Structure formats: structure tokens, C-alpha cells
Structure 1
């Protein structure tokens, strides 16, 4: 039997590459040959280069190919930020991905065989390449089914300012509970220049031959049902939706100092605080977190990054944080027996799965959310950007696997809130009930990806459908 050959196209950013590498592993498991076609960021990024090097070293059976840069753009192209004011980061990203269509087409033509092209949600311009080359094309939606249900609806919206006028009014979509319009990504809720191109990308989602979603059915049954019944794209047919998750990162650096520190802590006693690759806070917020942690008396492991304006979503690396300057005077000394503060990075998957970790304060990025769930940890939800506020709604109200850290939408979570919620999740009966529920869902997550599980079956179904499309 001829081996299937698939090309994965993850778009820009480490957060999009990481889940696509996990998808590559799933294809390998089912006997396919996998190539990942990578786009170099518009601005050279050491973080990107390091992530690609790590991914390639850890997955020798996957071919990683960095596409050549596009031809130089004419001066000041419309919407690309060529004018006098800097463009919105989403505008820059989507313009860059549009310019990569020609290099992607040339690369696909150079391959001896391609049975399918799998795209990131922001790579809609590649649909035209697939159509030209007569390739089956699928999206890999790396966030949850609830987000997908909402975004398919939002993608039918004709105006980029429609939601900005609603403020905190409730909006309702099939597959989701009612939530505040301000919980939509800021590009929509504030009507920023990024809204129109994002709407354009969302509008193209139904054009694919199918959508692979990094979730499992029992976690998001309501949203999956709405998707399958076609309620989220009322004016055209919805492509098949395959729930194939949870796809989460494997082990990292077993020798990291924080893992040795965790080895010395009691079981389920440590609160882990980490806010993703772009999650940073100003000094004032870091001080409030520190005060709250100290007053809680709980053990903690906290990843601190140097402050950056949240409007700056660039991939430029931050300088190493000066902890003495950013945190309250004497904090590190006073908490040295109960806490550990790490600069910039931790091997998150290993920390979450460590026996000593008991709760996870998270920005609600979907990769982190799934890692927390599959580690069986209750989630303290502190969303920052993108679709994370929507994820918080689903985690707290639908999945019931976490609680909200109040104040994040008022620009400051107070020390009292940090202290109260950390104590609650670690000491109270309510916290224990939450822990029990997450443990149950962790079991269902493991079952989903095992042989005969729902996600394993969905991937097999997807491959059968793909084979049918490739019949002469």
C-alpha cells in the first residue's frame, strides 16, 4: 500500500507550530509521511528558530521545510502597514501569509506526491493553492470546538464594527452559552483594524474539505452537536468536523531546576502560574500577584516574564526579567522555602504532570488548557488576549473545570483576589470538588485517544474520507 503523504502548514508563531507538531505525530502514528512547511516571521525571531530546531530534533521522522521568503512587496501596500503608522499585528501577519502563497505553491509542486494539505486557521489564502493543484485541503483548528462554533458564526458577519457597538451586552451563538460581547477577541470587541482581515479568514473556514479540531467530543458535546447539525453556518454547508484531541506536548527537559525543586514538595501542594509565550504583566500587576501568593501561604511555582505592552504582540524576544526590580522588596527571600520564581520559561508539560503540582493559574490559551486538563488540574482562569476570554467562558460555565480570577477585565487582579482564589482551590471543599471533576474529565481525555476511543475513531474516519477523495 502506498504511504499517504501530507503537508502541514502552520502559519506564523510558536503557539501555532506547537499543536501542528502534535498533529504531525498523530499522522505518523497512522502511517503517513509528514512534511511541515514553515513560514519565517516577517521579523527574524530567535524564538521561532529555536522552536523549529527543538521540533526537528525531537521528531526526526517529520520533514521540516522553511519556505523561502516571498518576493519584496511594493512600497506601502494597502493594509500591510506600509504607511506612516504601524499596522495592527494581525494585519501584518495575514498580509505576510498572503505573500507566501507563491512560495507554498512552488514547494507543493516540487514534491513527488501530496495527498492532503492541512492549514492553520489563518492560512486561508492557501485554499486557492489547493484548488489550483487539485489537492484535498483541511483546516486544523488548534483551539476548542466552542471557539470554532462561535467563529463560524462570526465569520458570516459583514461588518467589522458590529460587535464593538455591543460593549458588555450578551451575545448568543449556537453551541455556546450566552456571553458578553467584550469576551470576544479584542479585535472584534473594540473594532480594531485587525477585525476585518480576521473576519475574512473566518469566512473561508467552510470552504475546506473538513476541519480537524484539537478537542474530544465529551469535553464539548454541546458545541460539537451544533457544528454537526450545521447550526453554525446557516447559509451554506458545514464541512465535516473531526474531534481528534487532546493533542498535547510531550515531555520537555527532565533536568530543569524546577523539576528537582518540585521533587522535594508534598503531593498536589504547588500552585503553578504560567501565562503563555506572550503573557506578560506590568510591574504593578506582578507586585499584586506576589503579595497575594505570599499571603496565601501556599507553595507556588511562578514563571515571570519581563513586562511588555499587550498591544505589542510581536515575536521579538523579551530581555531576561530583573526579579529584584519587578517584585516587592524582600519577596524572594521571604518565600524561598515555599516558592520558586522562574525567569521567562518552564517545561510546562512536565510541571503540570508532576505529582507535586496541585493547581494551574493559566491565561486560558487552548494548548495550556488541554495540558492542564490532561494533567488533572483545576484551572484558575486569567485570560489575556485572542480567544482566551471565550475559552474562560467555556472552561468555567460549560466544562466546569475552573474558576475566574476576577479583575482581569478591569486591568488589575488585586492581591486579595490572588490570595483568596489560591487558598480556595488548595484548601476548600469547593476546590476539592473541582479537583475531583477534573480528575474524571482527565480519564475521559485519556480514553478518547486510546484505541476505540472517540478521537482515535474520528482520525481513522478522517483518513478514510481522505482516501476516498484521492481515488482516481
Structure 2
């Protein structure tokens, strides 16, 4: 791998957000394991927040001393609060303005040492920088192959339409490589008018994901073989040959990764789990940003109480709705007494544990007492549960999570749907019934067995000779051919 006596440097550019820096850090470890130097280029977050995301980068940097972190010189952030534009558009524009600074940084690395630039799915504007400098550029798609397959085929579907997809309601749309997808399950912003600036920008972003020399996807072959095959089908994007897609996952945070300070006390929730029987606890968490309305929190409490099952529940301060303006804001700690039904904590003492705001999710999922996971179906959470062999109760909120839900329930067989999320309220009876189903019933046992099988497949994929390991070696050899 050495070029003379100096190692080659891979530059990773993850864009914004905990959900993107986390998986890219896992990708960095794979490069390090193959003998490369890795520099992760970051931009100052445009909104200073003190919630679970703040300090995340510092924690990641402190616990990964072998990765070099380089923060680009800051530029003035957009005014999210007063701009009439959608925050996504402002964010994409803001990141594009960093192209010049990214170019200067790449030029500071001796050309013979610069191996490749790997950009996040939202940093496709940086492809132009790599093209200008003649550097091999690849996309890292932090979601799964099924979502990439849908996004890659969407522009052609929308190109012929005058109106948005919203009017199709739950009409199933056919895409290569995935089960039929209800139109309502696509990313909300894509359902509007195809001529809308937000819709056009998103479409362009998805199209450019496959404008690189190849796409690294955080998945593994046996989990999404149909979707991965779709990219090699000439009908996927008629008239266009897609670049290679490499499934190199699952890249997930390991439990007990030491991301807390050395000698830190074991979190109380893990000590509580230690005292519970194997596979007896349902863990409820909606990602680093997801939060639910107050009425919904009360329904969950009622459902959990009636189910009689053990639970570990992350409760956040309710958001008015799951919209992007709120999504970017910092959220205060929840007032449990006001949110939960009177006497709930007292009545469920011992068999329930409620956490405010943050949970060591990877540690909880890999704990032997955890038997089910109520999740918003974000891809990182989904993969963490698959790697831990934990079956899921699917409750998508936004982004591409409904697409993931279809894949998890209809394709991978690792989850069941909690009905009602699409109408805005999952009832207590539904929560009670589904929690019992997964933890107690024959159907739940089958789900658990499939989840255990997937866990084994995930481990196999990452071993020497496994599919993900082989895909990564194929990627390295393809880069070498480009550089030759």
C-alpha cells in the first residue's frame, strides 16, 4: 500500500449531521485497516446546538486519534430563522460555497499521496472539485441499497409528470430491486410539484450520487441482494450506465466503543438491563433528533403499561411536528411529570426505565436483555439492530424512513409495522399488541430467528473472504486502475 515510504491519504467529506459523520468514521476505520491515512474534512455546523449532536464531533475525534480531522475555515452561515427558503436548500447552498476551501485543502496534499475523495450523499457538489483536480471521487451512501435504488430511478419517474406524486396516495410504485413502494412512502418533499425548487434540488442531488466513479453503500450483499442487482440492470436508468456499487457494510458503532471518557461510570440504564432476563426488554428510541407529540407519548405509556412487558424508553421533549426548522433546533430536556400519565413511573417501577434525551444505543442493542427495538427506521439504527440480531417494531417519522420500513418488513423480514404512524397516531392497543407479539408470540419467535440469522450474515460479510470485505478490495483495485 505504501507509495515509497509515505502512505496514501484518503479524504472523507461527510457534510453535516451526526447521522453522516458517524458512519463515515466507521468507513475511515476500514481504510485505516487497509493501511491508508485518513483525513476527515468537516465544516463548522451552521447552527450551534447543545443537544446530543454538540460535542459529538469532539467525542469522535478524541476516541479516534488515528483519523486526522480537518475543519475548513468557516464562512458565514445562512440565516435559517428569517429566510423564506427551505432549510435543506439553504444547507445545500451553504455546503456548495465550501468548494473553494475544499479545493485549496486538497491541493495542499501532494498529488502522488492523494488516493481518493469520498463524499457524502449530500456533498455531491464536491464532485466538481475532484473533477477539476483529476482526483478519483466516490460517493459514500450512508443509507441502504434499496433507498439508493429508489432514488436513482426517481428522476426518470418524475421527469414525465406534470403534478406531484402526492395525489397517488398509497398507490404502489414499481421500482427495480425493491418491493412495491406506496407513493406516500417517498421522502415527503418529493411528493410535491416536480417543478418546485426543493424537489428539483433533491432530484439533482440523488442523480449526482451516481455521477462519481462508484458508490460505497453501507449494506451487505445478502441483506439487499435484489437492490444491489438492480444497478447492473440496463433498465435501471435507461440510456445510462451506472458506476459500480460496492456493498461494504454493515459499518456500525460497536457497543462499549469507549466513546465516553476513560474510567467513566457505566450508565445506569445498562446496569438496570444487567438485572433483566435475556431478550425480555423492548427498547424504544426515535434516533438522535426524532420526537413525538405529547398525545402520542401518553398513548405509548398506556400501551407499555398494559402490555406488562419490560421496557427501556427514551423520551424527548415533544416537537410541534417533525419539520426541518424544528429539526435544526436544540431541544430542552423533557418534563416527565407533565408528559407521562399520572403515577405511570410509580406503577411501572422495576419493569420500566425511562431515559431523558440520550441513550447509549449501540450498548443497549447489543445487551443480552434487549429483545425488541421500537425504531424510527433510520438506517444507522436499523443496521445497528441487524448487527445485534434484534427484531424491530417499525415507526418511521420522516426522511427516507418509510422506504426503509417497507424493506425491513417486506424484504428483510426483520421488522413488523406499528400501524397508525401514517395517520399521525399509533394507539395504545396497537403498541400493547405488537410489543407482546414480538416478545411473546410464535410469530415473534420467528422474527427473532430471522434477526439472529441476519446477524450471522452480517458477521460473515465482514470476515476475510466475506462479501463486504471482497467488495472493498474490488473498490481499492478500481481506484488503483484509475490512478495508473
Please give the range of the TM-score, normalised by the shorter of the 2 chains: over 0.9
Q: Deviations over 1:261-297 (max 9, x none)?
A: 0001011110000100111011100000000000000
- Alpha-carbon shift at residue 449 of structure 1 (Å): 0.3
Structure 1: distance between partners of 2:59 and 2:293: 30
The farther-off stretch of 359-368 and 148-157 is 148-157
Structure 2: distance between partners of 1:72 and 1:53: 21
Residue 128 of structure 2 is aligned to residue 141 of structure 1: no
Structure 2: distance between partners of 1:58 and 1:234: 45
1:19 and 1:142 in contact (8 A); partners too: yes
Residue 346 of structure 2 is aligned to residue 342 of structure 1: no
Structure 1 alignment gaps of length 5 or more: 74-79
3-state DSSP of counterpart to 1:155: helix
* Equivalent runs, 1:12-411 vs 2, <5 Å: 12-46=16-50, 47-70=52-75, 86-112=84-110, 113-156=113-156, 157-158=158-159, 161-191=163-193, 194-252=198-256, 255-308=266-319, 309-311=321-323, 312-411=325-424
Structure 1: distance between partners of 2:275 and 2:80: 51
- Alpha-carbon shift at residue 251 of structure 1 (Å): 2.7
The farther-off stretch of 120-129 and 315-324 is 315-324
Structure 2: distance between partners of 1:422 and 1:371: 20
1:160 and 1:199 in contact (8 A); partners too: no
The alignment's TM-score, normalised by the length of structure 2, stands at 0.93
3-state DSSP of counterpart to 2:55: helix
2:280 and 2:439 in contact (8 A); partners too: yes
Structure 1: distance between partners of 2:315 and 2:162: 35
2:136 and 2:213 in contact (8 A); partners too: yes
- Kindly tell me: are residues 372 and 364 of structure 1, through their superposed partners in 2, closer, same or farther at Cα, counting changes over 3 Å? same
- Kindly tell me: are residues 53 and 313 of structure 1, through their superposed partners in 2, closer, same or farther at Cα, counting changes over 3 Å? same
The alignment's TM-score, normalised by the length of structure 1, stands at 0.95
- Alpha-carbon shift at residue 99 of structure 1 (Å): 1.3
3-state DSSP of counterpart to 1:410: coil
Q: What's the Cα RMSD here?
A: 1.7
Structure 1: distance between partners of 2:22 and 2:39: 14
Structure 2: distance between partners of 1:344 and 1:235: 48
3-state DSSP of counterpart to 2:422: helix
Structure 2: distance between partners of 1:194 and 1:205: 17
* Equivalent runs, 1:412-423 vs 2, <5 Å: 412-423=425-436
1:160 and 1:195 in contact (8 A); partners too: no
Q: Deviations over 1:289-309 (max 9, x none)?
A: 000000000000000111113
Q: Deviations over 1:238-261 (max 9, x none)?
A: 000100000001234571110000
- Alpha-carbon shift at residue 101 of structure 1 (Å): 1.1
Structure 2: distance between partners of 1:42 and 1:161: 34
- Alpha-carbon shift at residue 160 of structure 1 (Å): 8.8
- Alpha-carbon shift at residue 200 of structure 1 (Å): 1.2
2:80 and 2:87 in contact (8 A); partners too: no
- Kindly tell me: are residues 65 and 289 of structure 1, through their superposed partners in 2, closer, same or farther at Cα, counting changes over 3 Å? same
3-state DSSP of counterpart to 2:46: coil
Structure 2: distance between partners of 1:337 and 1:44: 38
- Alpha-carbon shift at residue 314 of structure 1 (Å): 3.5
* Equivalent runs, 1:427-446 vs 2, <5 Å: 427-446=440-459
2:130 and 2:137 in contact (8 A); partners too: yes
1:70 and 1:102 in contact (8 A); partners too: no
3-state DSSP of counterpart to 1:115: strand
Structure 2: distance between partners of 1:329 and 1:352: 29
- Kindly tell me: are residues 222 and 340 of structure 1, through their superposed partners in 2, closer, same or farther at Cα, counting changes over 3 Å? same
Q: Deviations over 1:214-260 (max 9, x none)?
A: 00000011111111234322221100010000000123457111000
Structure 2 alignment gaps of length 5 or more: none
3-state DSSP of counterpart to 1:456: helix
Q: Deviations over 1:64-118 (max 9, x none)?
A: 1111123678xxxxxx979x65322211211111111112111111223321000
Q: Partner residue of 1:76? A: none
- Kindly tell me: are residues 468 and 170 of structure 1, through their superposed partners in 2, closer, same or farther at Cα, counting changes over 3 Å? same
Q: Deviations over 1:415-451 (max 9, x none)?
A: 0000000011111000001101111111011000011
Structure 1: distance between partners of 2:32 and 2:44: 24
Structure 2: distance between partners of 1:283 and 1:71: 36
- Alpha-carbon shift at residue 165 of structure 1 (Å): 3.4
Structure 2: distance between partners of 1:161 and 1:18: 37
Structure 1: distance between partners of 2:197 and 2:483: 40
- Alpha-carbon shift at residue 190 of structure 1 (Å): 4.0
1:214 and 1:246 in contact (8 A); partners too: yes
